[in-house]
Structure 1
Amino acid sequence: MRAGAADLEGKPFFSSEMRKLTPLDSENAAALLQELIESASQKQCSGIGSLNDNKSAAGFLSVVLDLSPYLRNVLLRRPAIIEPLLEEPLSTRLEKLMQEIASCSRGDKVTEAGIMTELRQLKLESHVLIALGDLSGLFSISETTLWLSRLAEECVGAAVRFLLRDAHEAGKLKLPDPTHPTKDSGWIILAMGKLGAFELNYSSDIDLIVFIDERSPAIIDPYENVETFSRLTRRLVRILQDRTADGYVFRTDLRLRPDPGSTPLAIPVVAALNYYEGRGQNWERAAMIKARPVAGDIDAGKRVLAELAPYVWRKYLDYAAIADVHSIKRQIHAHKGHGEVAVRGHNVKLGRGGIREIEFFVQTQQLIAGGRFPQLRGSRTVDMLAALHGLGWISIEARDTLVQHYGFLRDVEHRIQMIADEQTHTLPEDDENFLRVAHMMGYQDGETFAEDFRHALQAVEMHYAALFEQAQDLTGETGNLVFTGDVDDPDTLKTLEKFGFKRPSDICRVIRTWHFGRYRATQSAESRERLTELTPVLLRAFGVTSRADEALMRFDEMIKGLPAGIQLFSLLQSNPRLLDLLVLIMGAAPRLASIITRKPHIFDGMLDPAIFADVPTRAYLAERLEGFLGPSKVFEDVLDRLRIFASEHRFLIGIRLLTGAIDGARAGKAFSDLADLVIDRSLRAVIDEFASKHGKIAGGRIAVLGMGKLGSRELTAGSDVDLILLYDHDANAEESDGGKPLPASQYYMRLTQRLIAALSAPTAEGVLYEVDFRLRPSGNKGPVATHIDAFRKYQRTDAWTWEHMALTRARPVAGDAAFFGEIEQEVTNILALKRDTARIAKDVIDMRALIETEKPPRDAWDLKLVPGGIIDLEFIAQFAVLTGNVEGPVIAQSTAEVLGKLNPALVDPAMADDLVQAANLYTSVTQLIRLCLDDDTRPEDFPPGLGELLCRACDLPDMKRVESQLSETARSVRKTFNALLRSMQKS
């Protein structure tokens, strides 16, 4: 398949008409262009200087340099990349590069190191040129993704051919024709996902499945073929994704193969076919829609896909398959719209109204009808939208709307990734990078772009929601719903079973309780009338959850606790999205459900449709806190209001996380920002109240240090807070000046005790936070308040390694803002002290071993304590900070952010990337589990709704894959932990 043929016979690239883009800074853009021209001149690329005479080309290139840091860095280093475009069309140049990639594996003297270098350099050049074609408007989105896919395909093919020849020369294989090494080689490389569909995105990884044709004449020893081809596959991944001085080629993912936790990297075809026919799941059928042989033994790959066709394209769709499609659908439907979408921070791939919903819209209908209609068996999303319309499955309006917005969203995805060549799909939250995306999209301002982006999401979501509603008709969900009298109606029991309830008689009993007015919320006739009208909708909504009976029982508990029901029932009747949200909570989050049951008023916060449009930033929360506190001055009233505010906004942050409006990392920051604000406000209230009796200390200053997850801004919904209170005062101040004066040290000690009580003492409104002050100097033996001088001295002379490790996460969160800078500098200075690296490594290893002995993990889901879990990652980050191996500031940084700044001399960049991904994975999973469950919940008691949320957060199809990924990640992190710390211990 050829890409971008439109300009093959056209003009040289730089003489073409280009899309006009607006820079962030015109002066900077002009300066960068001159810097490029000067760099080109120094590197004997003098022809590039002629761009000054080409207004269109110079303008376009200067804006690209200004808007994309990634492209700027590459072009300033290697201006020769664009010199050929002065003479030839872009597609002509790309075709030549594809040919160079294809030929780089040929020759007798090719080495693995040599091909790794050549592939990286050619990939980089092609990558930049494809971006220029995309940004200039010369390439459409389909041409851009096609070129990116061809680039990946050529790189994989070149590496595979090299490895096959190498195995032949080493006597591991006997190729029938070494000059054409892939022919009858038996090594089948299937491209999956976007690479399989020629839809690869700009910074995508590539999904591959590797099979072995055991009948291949190239196989010398049938008993060794799995090991031989698995070893070759491992080398293939290394060639493609290991980071070297030249970068990487493509990140490579092999996890779509059958049962990846227990199968080799290369799987015999017979074993794979047996798996798919006996244990294959519908999501794997969906994945196979996009499969195609991309390298190796192409003919054998085609034969495999032909044998799999009956599995993928079933002639008849049974009810179990329909139910499974519904289950997959629920994973995305669970976070379907609840009000406006926040544009900044939105995941354009996985978020509401995003690319994944369009792909799912298409693939679901392909699964249902592809067995009967061969026209629906294609892999490309846009082509299949046209085919669905051609067969009358969707309207012309749905086709055109989804095609248009698919192209728009894919463009946005590419612009996000062109900022730093990162595999991210999330729109930046900060102004500068958000505007970079808007300007690269051709907009002159962020507001218009945000409006169009939101419109696209809403349009996609509307069509996706309509598909979900239509799909419910497939199972014929109709029947009797009669709940009068004391005897169960037989037809009603059948209807409830059809809906998905396992204990229909119990459900009948619960609903009769509602209708008979036995709860306060159902005592009024009007309330019962509203609930009666709502009952069929409720039953349908709860019926599609995985444990419908449990979810409805939780809803019953909530009704039982309501003082009145008319308002809620009316809202649910008129607001289906609110009902979706309530069903989600009852089905997936027992902890949140119990909060609503105990405090029904907290549900009121969800009635504001804007909560999902607003990212819960510190400024957002601060504004609402001040409005909520209002003129309150009475100490007890302030504390109660703070408790109400904190519990409501913890809940609302959790709801945003539950629905996918924010991810785990963003939730951690929001929970931490909320804690900062209420702790600071509590401290101010305590100081004022305390001063009214005891006065103040001359020159007195207070700062509360947040430690642990509060310090690193990674709090979860159920976290307690670790604090240290530091104070200072005039040197000659001996006691306070109030009616009941106190000596300075006693003053601050008692004030701290009052703060602890203000935060953690239970009142009618509950507890603000469980508070832990054990990280203060000398722990429980030391005073609860510490003078700044004593803190300095202790940290420099008496502190243990573990205390300095804890200090790496220290951050001022409340108190005298002028005092913060001094404390931050002090913490920075302490962390920068010269240390014995080997001793620190030994202390870290010993401490981890002690924790493992004294506090072993409960099970594999105890992600904090499992070997290779969160503690290992935190210890690696803290070790790096203490040994000066982190680039840039560390205060207020999460573990993932610190790991992302590791010195390459300490940890290989590829390994650091893996650690960051591990931290992000653990954060996503932990945030959801802590939000949805109580601490003592065992894995076997996880509600299925939570499983679907975890699959969505990890972008994996089922819980088995999530568990496999967590296990694989833990093994990898522990391996890195041991290798790094033990090597440092010996140094």
Structure 2
Amino acid sequence: MKQRTDRDKQAEDGTLWFGQPVQALPPLNAEEARDALSDLTSAAKEQGASQLAVLSSCHAPLTDFLGSVLSLSPFLKSAFLRRPIALEALFSLPLAKRLEAIEADILTSLEGETESQLMTRLRRLKGEAHALIGLADLSRTQDTQVTIHQLSSLADACLGAAVRFLLRDAHNGGKLKLPNADKPEEGSGWILLGMGKLGARELNFSSDIDLIVLFDPAAPAVPDRDEAGELFVRLTRRLVRILHDRTGNGYVFRTDLRLRPDPGSTPLAISVDAALAYYEARGQNWERAAMIKARPVAGDGQAGMRFLGDLRPYVWRKYMDYAAIADVHSIKRQIHAHRGHGDVAVRGHNVKLGRGGIREIEFFVQTQQLIAGGRYPELRGRETLAMLGMLADQRWITTEAASTLGRLYWYLRDVEHRIQIVADEQSHVVPEEDEGFSRIARLMGYGQDDAFADDLRAALKSVEKHYAALFETAPKLSDEVGNLVFTGDVDDPDTLQTLTTLGFERPSDMIRLIRGWHFGRYRATRSAEARERLTELTPALLQAFGETRRADDTAIRFDAFLSGLPAGIQLFSLLQNNPALLRLLVTIMGAAPRLAETITRSPHVFDGLLDPALLSELPSRDYLSGRLVTFLDGAPSFEEALDRLRIFAAEQRFLIGVRLLTGAIDAPRAGRAFSDLADLTIGHAFAAVEAEMAQRHGRIPGARTVILGMGKLGSRELTAGSDVDLILIYDHAESAEWSDGDKPLEPSRYFARLTQRLIAAVSAPTSKGILYELDLRLRPSGNKGPVATHIDAFRKYQQQDAWTWEHMALTRARPVSGDVTLATELSSEIHAILSAARKASEVKAAAVEMRNLLEQEKPARDAWDLKLVPGGLIDLEFIAQVASLTGAVQAGPDRETSTAAVLAHLDPAFVDAGAVETLVSAHQLYTAVTQVIRLCVVGDFDKTDMPPALADILLRATDTPEVSLHDALLVDTQRNVRAIFDRLLRRK
């Protein structure tokens, strides 16, 4: 029988691997542990790990420990079954030495290695080291502090390897001129600051790594300062891909760059000068706290240290003003550890962010450092526990508090590691379900769940107790609406409650949004004065948002509006001193997403709201025409004129909408105003296109053109969201064969190209948006016909070839701009065509057939689909159009194109007076609802998701007391209109 050697004993108890015997780890299920060992034995044999195969098949302390680990941690089981050779290596090199060797391998540059090969190598080596560190941590053969240093050192090595590779690659590509290719970091100017736990060398098992990436354009390696920004952003993006992207081999480290200055609007890498300027002008106290842990972890270390040295006065202030102290206190209040906040949970508790958790210990240390570190340099360290001890040495806290918090800090870090080591997930929450909770208890070394629960609860309560006693009670920064605190990076619980009370459904998201305002991310909040004014305005804003009963959506739209403002001081002051304007702005944000989108996309339209005559001056055609001429005056070019037209149309559509929204004008007047605006702007656009066309191709002798408005443009019933239907009609001298310009065109091509340029001028998107979406499908022969129509061809088609539905559409035709004489002739032609004798029964049958087809192909969604629903707008329009074609309209001095006007003048022989009243009232109701919905809503209207503020506007516009009655009114009206439609058109 073989005699057991000392080496055998060391192998069996773990000393050979870890330097000392492992502690027993109770399994959750003994059978699962045995099965896991069996799997490990098989994998070891398959891959030639002979010593591991022998060990895993015998009975020894290390064997039992491995069985428990593999059964408790699916992550470690997968790692070691996939590569048992990682454990085999520990028989020849103890774990600590093996980790050193892995880091050396990581940092060793391989000749000719590609980026893909580097990614594969880093993932393999990091994966092995990661699993070994987890195994050592569970074995209790090393302190938790050693574990977090190992994890941090591993991250440093992976970062260092990736950075060196990228710097050499840039050097070889001529983008950089490294002073020392063997040490590429030196003089490179690329600075990677590790933040948070990486900076403090306190990484947890599944931690992200937080980085701030800077560059020094004056560094020796940078050949072109002007191109440095683009170069280092590109290198940083590649760095993130190398570390962060998941491949078949997993990932290296999840990488987070959001702690850089103003991450929403700055590039991934920023210059040191820009960073210093930001911190000096707009840095927040929470950013000062974050900078305490900043450490150069890769790249140009000397440049990184110089940057931190330059930043020292910002972080470590000699004197703190009262506002800064209050800010520190407010940050403190944002930790969920207040007296009287109920019992500390265990299951489902977040050991990092919850009451009594790790963050409370870390946060207390950092806030004390901010207060005292300016005068006491010894309090400027990065590591939490070292600074906790230093605070006790300097008598900022008692020795007993430091000792207790230090012990509990490591205990909670152990719990955190075990939560994460189960599946390598960045979680900090103790599982609620029995099996998950038991698994963490066993990984902590507890044989019973209750014992673990008692110890964890006691730890959390003790931290909470000490934490609550560390600060005196901070003064509340409150308003009549309640506590409102938006500093720091953790939510204030009282503010969460205040926002909930005001009606916000996602208060935490709202805190993050408002925090961004005070962060100075937007141009409107860059200056300190603007932020002060906005801070004073915030309570009133939040109250107003709440009153819309859709507070979250309103706040988000206001945030989008704020993001586009060029400046904020004047606006914030104006809103603060003008409650009516504040209410109007919030009404737009809360009830009218379409208007809110307009004001967000083009903040200049808001200027129109400042006109004191806005709500009293009606937007008549003369009013709009005068404003437009003034606005276009002096436009230096064709493109500038078109841009000004887009700006003017957007602003006036917005202002017409505001008048409708506030009740200053009713829906029919809004329709006429929207139509007049389209007439004028499209007319000016066409004039500009004609002039531009003449410069290149000249003019056709005797040419005359008219834009014929169709559909809602022709009937002067446009809404805020309507497309524009039109036809271009032209005439010219009979003898004209070519235009008279440098590049002559024959008439048909000339007017076709003119129409195409009009379409582009009006509908093509530019930085100023579009003027209108154009639809030319109502022209003769539809999409198959030419885009421009000679008046003779128009006349012939309408007299000989047009379908009944085309004549129905023609009843709403109206010349909207162009040559006056041709417009007069065209109006006469249309009147003659519509007045021609027809059999009423045939017209009615054609209309009914088309209505049936529409109902089959485009059924209405619900009763609010007012255009398509049976008894809706199409029924009303068809009744009016049939009446116009069959002579059933009482003639006036001018031909009516408005559906409302035609319905009001239906011949008594065609329909009785009671039915006329029903039809007119229905059209008024539908017009009011349609104008408001099209003004306020983008896309299809969903009644179930209607903002309450929009419901209020609809009820006011239709003089209805509540939504249920409004629904009933719609249904009843539709039933009555359909009955009249059937009686008038379906009856033989």
CA displacement 1:103-153 (0-9 Å, x = unmatched): xxxxxxxxxxxxxxxxxxxxxxxxxxxxxxxxxxxxxxxxxxxxxxxxxxx
Kindly, what percent of the aligned residue pairs are identical?
A: 64
Structure 1 counterpart of 2:675: 672
1:888 and 1:622 map into 2 onto residues whose CA distance is 30
Structure 2 counterpart of 1:978: 982
CA displacement 1:147-195 (0-9 Å, x = unmatched): xxxxxxxxxxxxxxxxxxxxxxxxxxxxxxxxxxxxxxxxxxxxxxxxx
SS of residue paired to 2:696: helix
CA displacement 1:765-791 (0-9 Å, x = unmatched): 111111111111111111111111111
Q: Which of 851, 862, 866 is residue 869 of structure 2 equivalent to?
A: 866
Instruction: Please tell me whether residue 923 in structure 1 is matched to residue 927 in structure 2.
Output: yes
1:540 and 1:753 map into 2 onto residues whose CA distance is 50
1:520 and 1:559 map into 2 onto residues whose CA distance is 9
Structure 1 counterpart of 2:592: 589
1:903 and 1:543 map into 2 onto residues whose CA distance is 52
Structure 2 counterpart of 1:556: 559
Instruction: Please tell me whether residue 831 in structure 1 is matched to residue 840 in structure 2.
Output: no
Shift of 1:557: 2.0
Structure 2 counterpart of 1:238: none
Shift of 1:639: 0.8
Structure 2 counterpart of 1:638: 641
Shift of 1:944: 1.3
Structure 2 counterpart of 1:287: none
Moved more, 503-512 or 611-620: 503-512
Q: Which of 571, 579, 603 is residue 582 of structure 2 equivalent to?
A: 579
Instruction: Please tell me whether residue 809 in structure 1 is matched to residue 812 in structure 2.
Output: yes
1:979 and 1:937 map into 2 onto residues whose CA distance is 31
Shift of 1:528: 0.2
Structure 1 counterpart of 2:16: none
Amino acid at match of 1:734: E
Shift of 1:486: 3.5
Q: Which of 952, 961, 969 is residue 948 of structure 1 equivalent to?
A: 952
Write out aligned runs for 1:792-807 (5 A). Answer: 792-807=795-810
Write out aligned runs for 1:127-526 (5 A). Answer: 478-526=481-529
Residue pair 1:548, 1:587 contacting (<8 A) in 2 also: yes
Structure 2 counterpart of 1:709: 712
Instruction: Please tell me whether residue 566 in structure 1 is matched to residue 545 in structure 2.
Output: no
Question: Relative to 1, partners in 2 of residues 1:751 and 1:478: Cα closer, same or farther, differing over 3 Å?
Answer: closer
SS of residue paired to 1:612: coil
Shift of 1:604: 1.6
Structure 1 counterpart of 2:908: 904
Amino acid at match of 2:536: E
CA displacement 1:465-505 (0-9 Å, x = unmatched): xxxxxxxxxxx964333333344444433333333333333
Shift of 1:683: 0.9
SS of residue paired to 2:543: helix
Instruction: Please tell me whether residue 528 in structure 1 is matched to residue 531 in structure 2.
Output: yes
Shift of 1:708: 0.2
Normalised to the residue count of structure 2, the TM-score between the two structures is: 0.51
Shift of 1:892: 5.3
Q: Which of 886, 898, 920 is residue 894 of structure 1 equivalent to?
A: 898
2:615 and 2:920 map into 1 onto residues whose CA distance is 27
CA displacement 1:892-946 (0-9 Å, x = unmatched): 5321111000001101011001100000100000011111111234222221111
SS of residue paired to 1:737: coil
Amino acid at match of 1:883: T
Shift of 1:559: 1.5
Structure 2 counterpart of 1:766: 769
CA displacement 1:299-350 (0-9 Å, x = unmatched): xxxxxxxxxxxxxxxxxxxxxxxxxxxxxxxxxxxxxxxxxxxxxxxxxxxx
Question: Relative to 1, partners in 2 of residues 1:733 and 1:633: Cα closer, same or farther, differing over 3 Å?
Answer: farther
CA displacement 1:348-391 (0-9 Å, x = unmatched): xxxxxxxxxxxxxxxxxxxxxxxxxxxxxxxxxxxxxxxxxxxx
Structure 2 counterpart of 1:932: 936
Residue pair 1:547, 1:587 contacting (<8 A) in 2 also: yes
Write out aligned runs for 1:585-624 (5 A). Answer: 585-624=588-627
Structure 2 counterpart of 1:699: 702
SS of residue paired to 2:726: strand
Shift of 1:597: 1.9
Structure 2 counterpart of 1:785: 788
Residue pair 2:481, 2:539 contacting (<8 A) in 1 also: no
Residue pair 1:810, 1:891 contacting (<8 A) in 2 also: no
1:752 and 1:484 map into 2 onto residues whose CA distance is 57
Question: Relative to 1, partners in 2 of residues 1:892 and 1:741: Cα closer, same or farther, differing over 3 Å?
Answer: farther
2:936 and 2:920 map into 1 onto residues whose CA distance is 24
2:875 and 2:575 map into 1 onto residues whose CA distance is 46
Amino acid at match of 1:951: L
Shift of 1:794: 1.0
2:630 and 2:895 map into 1 onto residues whose CA distance is 30
Residue pair 2:710, 2:814 contacting (<8 A) in 1 also: yes
Question: Relative to 1, partners in 2 of residues 1:478 and 1:718: Cα closer, same or farther, differing over 3 Å?
Answer: closer
SS of residue paired to 1:493: helix
Shift of 1:692: 1.0
Instruction: Please tell me whether residue 660 in structure 1 is matched to residue 666 in structure 2.
Output: no
Shift of 1:526: 0.8
Question: Relative to 1, partners in 2 of residues 1:602 and 1:892: Cα closer, same or farther, differing over 3 Å?
Answer: farther
Shift of 1:631: 2.1
What is the RMSD of the two structures over their aligned residues, measured on CA atoms?
1.6
2:633 and 2:539 map into 1 onto residues whose CA distance is 43
Residue pair 2:689, 2:761 contacting (<8 A) in 1 also: yes
2:687 and 2:954 map into 1 onto residues whose CA distance is 39
Structure 1 counterpart of 2:691: 688
Question: How many residue pairs are counted as aligned between the two chains?
Answer: 509
Shift of 1:633: 4.7
SS of residue paired to 2:586: helix
CA displacement 1:65-109 (0-9 Å, x = unmatched): xxxxxxxxxxxxxxxxxxxxxxxxxxxxxxxxxxxxxxxxxxxxx
Residue pair 1:606, 1:652 contacting (<8 A) in 2 also: yes
Which structure carries more relative contact order (alpha carbon 8 Å, separation 6+)?
1
SS of residue paired to 1:706: strand
CA displacement 1:730-772 (0-9 Å, x = unmatched): 1222221111111112211111111111111111211111111
Shift of 1:524: 1.0
Structure 1 counterpart of 2:970: 966
Shift of 1:582: 0.8
1:954 and 1:832 map into 2 onto residues whose CA distance is 36
Amino acid at match of 2:841: A
Residue pair 1:845, 1:981 contacting (<8 A) in 2 also: yes
> Higher Cα Rg: structure 1 or 2?
2
Moved more, 790-799 or 569-578: 569-578
Shift of 1:891: 4.0
CA displacement 1:243-291 (0-9 Å, x = unmatched): xxxxxxxxxxxxxxxxxxxxxxxxxxxxxxxxxxxxxxxxxxxxxxxxx
2:736 and 2:577 map into 1 onto residues whose CA distance is 64
SS of residue paired to 1:762: coil
Instruction: Please tell me whether residue 757 in structure 1 is matched to residue 760 in structure 2.
Output: yes
SS of residue paired to 1:582: helix
Structure 1 counterpart of 2:440: none
Q: Which of 719, 724, 736 is residue 722 of structure 2 equivalent to?
A: 719
Q: Which of 519, 538, 544 is residue 541 of structure 1 equivalent to?
A: 544
SS of residue paired to 1:661: coil
Instruction: Please tell me whether residue 650 in structure 1 is matched to residue 644 in structure 2.
Output: no
Residue pair 2:481, 2:543 contacting (<8 A) in 1 also: no
1:920 and 1:484 map into 2 onto residues whose CA distance is 51
SS of residue paired to 2:614: helix
Gaps of 5+ in 2: 1-478
Normalised to the residue count of structure 1, the TM-score between the two structures is: 0.51
1:506 and 1:688 map into 2 onto residues whose CA distance is 53
2:540 and 2:809 map into 1 onto residues whose CA distance is 52
1:577 and 1:514 map into 2 onto residues whose CA distance is 23
